């Protein structure tokens, strides 16, 4: 008998492996890099005005690739100003990689790094137990809101920590992406646990509107090459299917009918486009910028 489906998060090693494969097969980081180059300078244009030090909080900073890019833009806008960069990141493995990236980078002289190995919620609980409410000039949450229990409460908590001219930047999948189409249709068939939920920019917009918070939205076109998912037995394809469905060993454990339907869905125009013999999954992202 086939083993039951289980969440990809029950196997942190496989999750990280599939996440790295996703990065290698998608324009996820490239489109973020483009945003950081072209549009971030305007977003951070006034966060450090008149300050001798700028405090940045990265929530779910991962291995730090995008964080370092953000820091280089803050440095360029405020040359010579001290930057205190705190990172909330529950994965020891990701923090280890982040430190390696910092060690390999140059021009970080005026930046102090502090890592907090904990979840966003653990950080909030620790701060309230210690009676602390440190304020920040820039807070970002990039591709991590899927992993918090209460998205609305998390946004509201971190928003409450903003200084007067600060910004809160969120990046997550767009409501127009293939993720939205796949998950709205099949999300309830995937073995989600309380470690991961599906949320898109459409949900964030609703949450912000109901909390009376104003935001600016930017759409970032992005795709993931999922051609290998259609080759039976292909190891990379199986790993990407795990990432798409957040299911450990989806190919081996999903009921055959669900597997057939998901494979069929992934080819549909709501999810993907075919170009030059490749199947490109719509991985469009949204950047949401919120003011105090």
Residues lying near ligand SAM in the complex (CB under 6 A) are found at: 19, 59-62, 66, 88-91, 94, 119-120, 142-144, 147-148
- Residues 128, 116: Cα–Cα separation, whole Å: 15
The answer to whether residues 100 and 114 touch, using CB atoms and an 8 Å cutoff, is: no
Residue 123 CB, shortest distance to ligand SAM, in Å, is: 8
**Element (H or E) spanning 36, and its range?**
helix 28-38
Task: Identify the CA nearest to 177 among candidates 138, 219, 131.
Answer: 219
Residue 227 gets which letter from DSSP?
G
As measured in angstroms, the least distance from the Cβ of 233 to ligand SAM is: 27
Specify the residue, 47 or 142, whose C-beta has the smaller distance to ligand SAM: 142
The CA-CA-CA angle for residues 205, 94, 289, to 5°, reads 20
Residue placing its CB nearer to ligand SAM in the complex, 9 or 259: 9
Between residues 111 and 287, which has the closer beta carbon with respect to ligand SAM? 287
Q: With respect to ligand SAM, which residue has the nearer C-beta, 90 or 237?
A: 90
Residue entry with tokens 């950047």: 287
CB atoms closer than 10 angstroms to residue 237: 19
Q: Between residues 226 and 287, which has the closer beta carbon with respect to ligand SAM? A: 287
Whichever of 91 and 222 has its CB closer to ligand SAM, that residue is: 91
Give the integer Cα–Cα distance in Å for 254 and 143: 26
Instruction: State the nearest-atom distance from the C-beta of 65 to ligand SAM, in Å.
Output: 6
User: What is the distance between the alpha carbons of residues 155 and 273, in angstroms, rounded to a whole number?
Assistant: 33
Residues 176, 232: contact at Cβ < 8 Å?
A: no
Please give the residue whose beta carbon sits closest to ligand SAM in the complex: 62
Per the structure block, which two tokens stand in for 244?
């798409």
Q: Which long-range contacts (CB under 8 A, 24 or more apart) does 13-20 make?
A: 14/239, 14/242, 14/248, 16/91, 16/93, 16/94, 17/239, 18/239, 18/240, 18/242, 18/243, 19/243
Query: Minimal distance in Å, beta carbon 8 to ligand SAM?
Result: 12
CB of 100 to ligand SAM, least distance (A): 14
Query: Considering beta carbons, is residue 117 or 264 the nearer one to ligand SAM?
Result: 117
CB of 150 to ligand SAM, least distance (A): 11
Q: Which is nearer to ligand SAM, 142 or 290 (CB)?
A: 142
Shortest distance in whole angstroms from residue 17 CB to ligand SAM: 13
How many angstroms separate the CA atoms of 14 and 35, rounded? 29
Give min distance, CB of 4 to ligand SAM, in A.
Answer: 24
């Amino acid at each position: 008998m086939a083993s039951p489906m289980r969440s990809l998060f029950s196997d942190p090693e496989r999750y990280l492996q599939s996440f790295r494969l996703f990065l290698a097969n998608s324009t996820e980081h490239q489109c973020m890099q483009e945003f950081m180059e072209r549009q971030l300078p305007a977003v951070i244009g006034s966060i450090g005005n008149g300050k001798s030090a700028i405090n940045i909080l990265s929530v779910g900073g991962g291995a730090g690739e995008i964080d370092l890019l953000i820091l280089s833009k803050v440095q360029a806008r405020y040359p010579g100003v001290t930057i205190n960069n705190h990172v909330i990141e529950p994965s020891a493995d990701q923090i280890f990689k982040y430190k390696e990236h910092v060690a390999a980078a140059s021009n970080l002289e005026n930046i102090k790094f502090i890592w907090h190995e904990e979840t966003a919620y653990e950080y909030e609980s620790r701060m309230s137990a210690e009676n602390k409410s440190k304020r920040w000039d820039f807070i970002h949450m990039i591709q991590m809101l899927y992993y918090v229990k209460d998205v609305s409460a998390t946004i509201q908590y971190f928003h409450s920590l903003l200084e007067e001219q600060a910004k809160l930047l969120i990046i997550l999948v767009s409501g127009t992406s293939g993720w939205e189409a796949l998950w709205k249709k099949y999300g309830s068939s995937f073995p989600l646990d309380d470690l991961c939920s599906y949320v898109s920019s459409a949900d964030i917009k609703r949450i912000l509107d109901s909390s009376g918070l104003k935001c600016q939205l930017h759409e970032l076109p992005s795709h993931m090459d999922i051609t290998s998912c259609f080759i039976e037995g292909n190891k990379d394809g199986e790993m990407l299917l795990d990432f798409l469905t957040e299911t450990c060993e989806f190919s081996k454990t999903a009921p055959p009918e669900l597997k057939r339907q998901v494979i069929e869905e992934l080819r549909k125009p709501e999810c993907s486009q075919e170009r030059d013999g490749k199947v490109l999954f719509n991985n469009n992202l949204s950047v949401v910028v919120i003011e105090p």
